[in-house]
Amino acid sequence: MKQFLPLLLIVPAIVLALLSLPYDVVGEDYVQVDYVEVQEIDAATSRLMLSSGAESLTMVISQSQGESIDMGFMGLHGSRPNTHDLQAGMLEASGVAVLAVTIDELAEGYYTATIYLKNFVFTKGVDCRPSDCVAIAARTGAPVYVKQQLFDVVAEEPEEVIPA
């Protein structure tokens, strides 16, 4: 049994070291966003702009989502946690880190996004609305990435934004 003792100490250390290696969640076809801006359009809608250098991606979101994104980047909190504060707090309390968020494609007039989560053992990408991804990234400090080809796409603004 004594001859196995070093193995019992070394193997878990190797496994833990491998699990803590960085996880590459984005490919070379993604660009990191270096500037996020929210502009109010009217009482119900806002415009979210994600920029990297001279390139910018714009999408229409609900006004409440825009306020939440702004509050997150400014580090402001209401008297009670909003939905994104709650989500970020639950992830942190559960030992789950947000590695990154990605804006992936424009499908049927809607942008799709993924939030990449990592606990002690697993890394998982979860489908998410872009505005929710950005709002959570604002609270967790996670980087935001946009697929390069989306900077070349001009999406039509929807006639109505349905807040969710």
Cα dihedral value 120, 117, 134, 61, nearest 10: -150
Regarding pTM above 0.85, the answer is no
CATH no. for 25-152: 3.10.690.10
Q: Quickly tell me which residue has 């390069």 as its tokens.
A: 148
- The model's pLDDT over 91-114, given as tens digits with 9 standing for 90+, comes to 999 999 999 999 999 988 899 999
Every domain of the chain and the residues it spans: 25-152
Structure tokens at 104: 């992936």
Q: Which residue has the higher pLDDT, 20 or 49?
A: 49
Residue 164 has pLDDT above 50, yes or no: no
Judge contact between 52 and 146, C-beta under 8 A: yes
The average pLDDT across 40-51 equals 95
- The model's pLDDT over 55-84, given as tens digits with 9 standing for 90+, comes to 999 999 999 999 999 999 999 888 999 999
H or E segment and range at residue 111:
strand 110-118
